[in-house]
Amino acid sequence: MRLDSYEVYFFDLDGLLIDTEPLFYQACLETWQKYKVSVELSFSQYYSLAMQGRERFQEALIQLFPETRAFFPSYFLDRDRCYHDLLSCEQIQLMPGVETFLSLLEGKCLGVVTNSSKESTLRIRKEHPVLECMQFWITREEYARPKPAPDSYRLAWNRFVREGDHVIGFEDSVKGLQALAGIPATMVAINAERSLEQTQSLFPGKEYYYFPSLELLCSCLQNH
């Protein structure tokens, strides 16, 4: 993979650029506590379900905890409200290697394509000015269906990709990769919590790479 051979670079946000997955987990548990429903999930269990997308998460949780059925789909709205409250009082860290990696892309067209709301992204950008290198932000309000549906990436493609441009996208989840597969782009999976190397088989014919972190990707690029 030659990093400089692309004109447009798409990035997921949560779990790829910023370490917000533990906060989503906390919001999940607090939401069920407010419902007075006993849901016992370790972070690892939660993460394995959440990275599949909302439909799979809902199906799996109902199977594990049948009493949760009555609270869907309103759970997702309530969880998001809880997450926004937590976000306003917690300090969120960048994922390892983000600043170094973005510095390698100076002068390129960079953008974020996320399931998160505009409100959430504005808070994150204020806390981490390094992310202002992104020329565009596609947020949840702008498209119909969240990832794993391809709507967000198709919108980004139609708005920001010109004829002849080569595109590369970076994701940290199965749902994100499924969404990214909806456009003609090189796919890069980044995840230290769960190896996504075997996920390549879900995307036959796609140029696909996996690295545990952006930090390791930077190291590999600098050594070649």
Q: How far apart are CA 29 and CA 218, in angstroms?
A: 35
State the CATH number of the domain containing residue 124. 3.40.50.1000
Task: Select from 87, 119, 141 the last residue of a domain.
Answer: 87
β-bridge partners, 136: 111
Same domain? For 104 and 212 the reply is yes
pLDDT at 78: 98
Examine the domain organization and report whether 12 and 39 are in the same domain: no
pLDDT for the residue 70: 97
Q: Are residues 49 and 12 in the same domain?
A: no
Give the count of beta carbons closer than 10 Å to the beta carbon of residue 30: 16
Number of domains making up the chain? 2
**Phi, psi torsion values for 116, nearest 5 degrees:** -75, 160
Same domain, 33 and 14: no
How many residues appear in the chain? 224
* 199 plus 187 within the same structural domain: yes
Residue 195 confidence (pLDDT): 86
One domain for residues 38 and 50: yes
Are 11 and 34 contained in the same domain? no
Q: What is the pTM of this model?
A: 0.94
Residues of the chain with pLDDT under 50: none
Q: Residue 46 belongs to what domain range?
A: 21-87
pLDDT tens per residue, range 95-132: 999 999 999 999 999 999 999 999 999 999 999 999 99
Contact 149, 123 (CB under 8 A): no
